[in-house]
Structures are given as structure tokens and as C-alpha cells.
Structure 1
Amino acid sequence: MTGTLITVAPTGAESSKAAVPALPVTIDELVATAKECEALGAAIVHVHIRDDAAEPTLDQGRLRETVAALRQSTDLIVQLSSGGAVTDPEADRLAVLDARPEMASCTMGTVNFGDGVFLNRWEFIVDLHTRMQDKGIVPEYEIFDLGQLTTLQRLLAQHGLPYGGHVHVDLVMGVPGGMPGTAAALVACHQAIRDLPAGSTFSATGIGRSTIPVILASLATGGHLRVGMEDTVTYAKGRPVESNMQLVARAVGFAQLAQRPPLTTAEARELLGMVAR
């Protein structure tokens, strides 16, 4: 892999605006962040949305408005989260696809998520995967633990390749309850990814203080990167993140040092089997 696919996850569903004032929660804030990060080298924006009180929501109208605003203002691949918050019901999570993003997340199993439980039943996973096939949406398969890669093998064997034919996973590392954000854990996942269809690719996300070790390990093993304030709000010990641009700029710097510069949005669409915009 000669280039690096960089995803920015600017908001998430966990941090509050009160605790993290720099968190982009309005549509205008999200669009401004997306434009800045695209200029630096991001190709995908992984989107969670908030309501007027800055609380996580899966409101269909706001989802559609957000997708439209991002498409109008950027050329980024808009990837909606089908995870939402851990308390969101399955029906609302499936309805995310009705906002017609180019891409959406599809988590491969249930995982303890701090004090909560991120529930992903097998039947729900199959429903999400097959609806994306029908709607022409490219999935990013979210992996929180090694065994979920085996679940992905089962899914593909029983229900076919995703829309576009390319399998791309994101290793979410360092969540309390999931796999650790270490080079050893990433290497173990990398071995399992080799059992997926030929040409499959992966990104890696390091939560909190595991961000930099995961970036380095992913680049060293041919993987891609996801960074953003959804995953970490501390740039260094005692230094809060000031903007998502900081995190994307750091990821771009590491990618360039690895002689794997950021993929353009057009190159990212080609990699992922998407129709060019």
C-alpha cells in the first residue's frame, strides 16, 4: 500500500460539549472541521450528530441535513455511524442508512464499552450488512476484539461481499472492555485479516493514550489511520486537543514519515470500490 487512507472522527457520542468545548456539535461546526481536515489530508469523515442541546441523536432529519451539508462543502467520503450511542435502539440505528451516506459503520459484535454494553446481535449485524448491499452503501466493519474478525469471515461467507466488493475494517483499540491499543494486539489482528478476501484493507483507531502506538503499528503493517476527537481529547499529557485539525495533522505527518502520504478522496473511493463522485 503506497498511500494512507486517513479518516477523521470529529465528535463521537461520548464526550460532552461542556467537558470538551472544542468538540464540533452543530452542523456548521462539523462542516468547518471537515473542510479543515480535508485540506490537511483526510479522505473520510466518520459522523455522529448531536441535537440542539448537544446530546447524541439519530434524528433522521438532522442526519439527512448533515450528509447534504458535508457533500455540498467537501469532497470527503461521508461515513455515518450506525452505532450511535450505546443506548440507541436497533431500529434507529438501521434507519441511519436511509440518510444515504456513501459509507456507514457495521460493528461485528457486542462489546463492553466502559460501564455500558454496545449491543450488536448476529441478526442485527446481518440486517445491517444486507441493507447496505441493497442500498449501495459501502460498510466499514468495526472490530473491537480479535474474535470479531472471525465473525466477519462468517458474515461474508453466508451473506456475500459488501457493496463495491472491497472489504475494509477498522480496528478500534483501547476501549475499556475491548482489545488493548498495543502493537502486539494490532499484529494479531493483522494476521487474522489475511484470512479475509484478497485485497482487504484495514484502518486502526487508538483510543486515548494508545493513539500514537496504534498509528505507528498500523503504518508499519500496511494499515490506514483513523483519528479525531471522538477517540481522544488529549493531545499530550496535560494538553487538551484544541481541534481535530491537530490530530489529522499529526497523522499526516506520521504517514509522510512512513513514505505513505495521504490518499486523495478520489484515490480513497477507488480503493474502497466506490463510484467516483
Structure 2
Amino acid sequence: MMKPLIITAALTGAGPLKTRTPHLPASPAEIVQEALAAWRAGAAVVHIHARTEQGEPTADVETHRWIARQIRDAGSDVILNFSAGDGGGRFGHEERLGLMDAGAEMVSYTASSYNSGARLYNSSPEFLAAARERMAAAGARPEIEVLDLGFCGRITRMIAAGELQAPFYCLFVFGIDGAMPADEALLPMLLQRLPKEVEWGIACAAEHAKFLTMQMMAFANGGHIRTGLEDQAYLWSGRLAESNAQLVEQWVSSAATWGRPVATASVARDMLGLRPL
């Protein structure tokens, strides 16, 4: 039996509002509705960057908690994954650390610093240690983001030092400024440099043909899929997706075609070492 496929819906991102697609959720209420629709469509995880009522990215803890409460109050058991990124350079370490215990079960954990355009995306060793401590206290687990081959060495060292505990989930990020190019030849090298028991998925911000190539590599090799309007605006070339749920449905249908079961949120919790709700 093939490994269940965990589908993550990355709902909105921290990029400019509605420049790639008019369907990007632009307020806390819209993010909640998109999260619920993606879950009903088959997503086990929703990856959330909060936005203000005006559509601006925000690291406000109460906004994140409100989003989490609304999703739970609607009866959804979807896994909540909050971004603790720097919001395109808007957020410092203290703001990012505040999101470690804002109601999510998983929090993005970029395993090293890198140059993103003209700025430094700062994941210093001190920040990473503080983030691990805050997540552990909140009962959340890291989604370990890998943006370059060199990250794998740091992750291996953190595992050896007991700073990260199994089971591990790594997200290979391709196609953003400062990260790995969307090149399928890199995937075997990444997998060779991480422990065999790692669960992994791919996020890709490249144009549609490359996005599809990278995600099919994940699908065919036992990895997991991240889709959603943060990463990909199109259902297929020339056809904009009208919602995150449409993009999730596309992968649910593909999995059914090829006989790979789709993980429910409950199954995904077991695979990722998360506590039952």
C-alpha cells in the first residue's frame, strides 16, 4: 500500500495582495473560510500567514489566535500550521517568536539564514534555539524548511545533538529568491543528506510547468504535496484557480487516479507525531 499523501494548502502567503490572482484571501475571515473549504476538499494541513482587515501581512498574535479559534469552532480538525517567517522583512525575531504559541500545531522553522533579495532572512542559531523552546512549551512541532543543500548538514547536526526530535517533517522549498532553483535533479541529493525516517514535502513557487514537475516528483517518491494560492495561482496553464479548495481537489483527484490514499488530518497527525486534538 502506498504511503498516505499529506496535502497542505498554503492559503495566502505574505506577498503583495492580489497581484498574481484576484482570488487570494485578503482578511482574517476570508482566510478562515478558505481554510475550512480546503479541509473539506481534502487538505490535512493549512499553512497560514495572517493578514489584517486591509489585507496586509501581520504577526499579531491575537489575529492568529482568532483565526485558529474560528477554524476549531467550525468543527474542523485540520492541522494548523502558522508561518513564523519574516513577512518579507517586516517582522523581527520577537514578533516571529510570538507566533510559536499562538494556537498552531506546527510552525514553520527555517533551518538557517539566507540572502533573500536585498535583505538577510535571519534564522540565527540563537533564534532557532528560542523557537524550539517556545514550540516545545506550546506542544507545537516544527515544519523544518530546507532552502538549500547546506541546510541538510545543519539539520543533521541538530538531530544528532537532540535539538530536534523524531518524527521529523522537512519541507523542501524551491523557486523563491535566495532558495534552490526548481530543478528536479536536486531532490535525490536532498534526500540522501537527511535521515531515512524524515517525512518530507515540496513547496515550489516557480511557473506552473515547473511547479507541476516538482510536485509530481514528490508524489511519485513518497513525499507530500503543498499546493495553494501562496505558491500557485493556476489549475493548469492559462486557467486561474478560483480557490485554494480547487487546488486541493486537483491533487485529491490525482491521488485517486494513481491509487495513493489521501491522509485525513487524524492520519497526518499520527505520521507527523502531533498530539490528538
Partner of residue 212, structure 1: 212
Assess if the C-alpha contact under 8 Å between 2:100 and 2:135 holds in 1.
yes
**C-alpha deviation, 1:18, in angstroms:** 5.8
SS in structure 2 at match of 1:78: strand
Q: Are positions 1:17 and 2:18 aligned together?
A: yes
Partner of residue 124, structure 1: 127
In 1: Cα distance, 2:238 partner to 2:219 partner: 26
Assess if the C-alpha contact under 8 Å between 2:27 and 2:54 holds in 1.
no
Q: Are positions 1:239 and 2:239 aligned together?
A: yes
In 2: Cα distance, 1:268 partner to 1:172 partner: 20
**C-alpha deviation, 1:111, in angstroms:** 2.4
> Can you list the C-alpha shifts for 1:96-133, whole angstroms capped at 9, x where unaligned?
01313111110011223345432211221122123212
Partner of residue 113, structure 1: 116
- The one-letter code sitting in structure 2 at the alignment partner of 1:152 is I
Partner of residue 104, structure 2: 101
> Can you list the C-alpha shifts for 1:49-96, whole angstroms capped at 9, x where unaligned?
111221100011111111111222211000111114031101000010
Assess if the C-alpha contact under 8 Å between 1:57 and 1:84 holds in 2.
no
Q: Are positions 1:86 and 2:88 aligned together?
A: yes
In 1: Cα distance, 2:120 partner to 2:55 partner: 22
Unaligned runs of 5+ in 1: none
SS in structure 1 at match of 2:133: helix
Assess if the C-alpha contact under 8 Å between 2:5 and 2:262 holds in 1.
yes
- The equivalent position to 1:138 in structure 2, one of 113, 125, 141, is 141
Q: Larger deviation: 141-150 or 15-24? A: 15-24
Q: Are positions 1:4 and 2:5 aligned together?
A: yes
Unaligned runs of 5+ in 2: none
Q: Are positions 1:250 and 2:253 aligned together?
A: no
**C-alpha deviation, 1:19, in angstroms:** 5.5
In 2: Cα distance, 1:109 partner to 1:161 partner: 14
Partner of residue 230, structure 1: 230
The share of aligned pairs that are identical, in percent, is 32
Instruction: Give the aligned length.
Output: 272
> Can you list the C-alpha shifts for 1:138-184, whole angstroms capped at 9, x where unaligned?
1110111111111111222224333xx31111111111221122221
In 2: Cα distance, 1:248 partner to 1:242 partner: 12
In 1: Cα distance, 2:106 partner to 2:237 partner: 34
RMSD: 1.8
| CA shift in 2, pair 1:257/1:145, >3 Å | farther
Counting only pairs closer than 5 Å after superposition, residues 184-203 of structure 1 correspond to structure 2 as: 184-193=185-194, 196=195, 198-203=196-201
- The one-letter code sitting in structure 2 at the alignment partner of 1:205 is A
Assess if the C-alpha contact under 8 Å between 1:208 and 1:233 holds in 2.
no
Assess if the C-alpha contact under 8 Å between 2:167 and 2:272 holds in 1.
yes
Partner of residue 77, structure 1: 79
SS in structure 2 at match of 1:56: coil
Q: Are positions 1:28 and 2:42 aligned together?
A: no
TM-score, length of structure 1 as denominator length: 0.91
Assess if the C-alpha contact under 8 Å between 1:82 and 1:94 holds in 2.
yes
Q: Larger deviation: 2-11 or 146-155? A: 146-155
In 2: Cα distance, 1:117 partner to 1:240 partner: 32
**C-alpha deviation, 1:224, in angstroms:** 0.6
SS in structure 1 at match of 2:136: helix
In 2: Cα distance, 1:28 partner to 1:13 partner: 16
**C-alpha deviation, 1:272, in angstroms:** 1.0
TM-score, length of structure 2 as denominator length: 0.91
> Can you list the C-alpha shifts for 1:27-67, whole angstroms capped at 9, x where unaligned?
22112211221122100001101112211000111111111
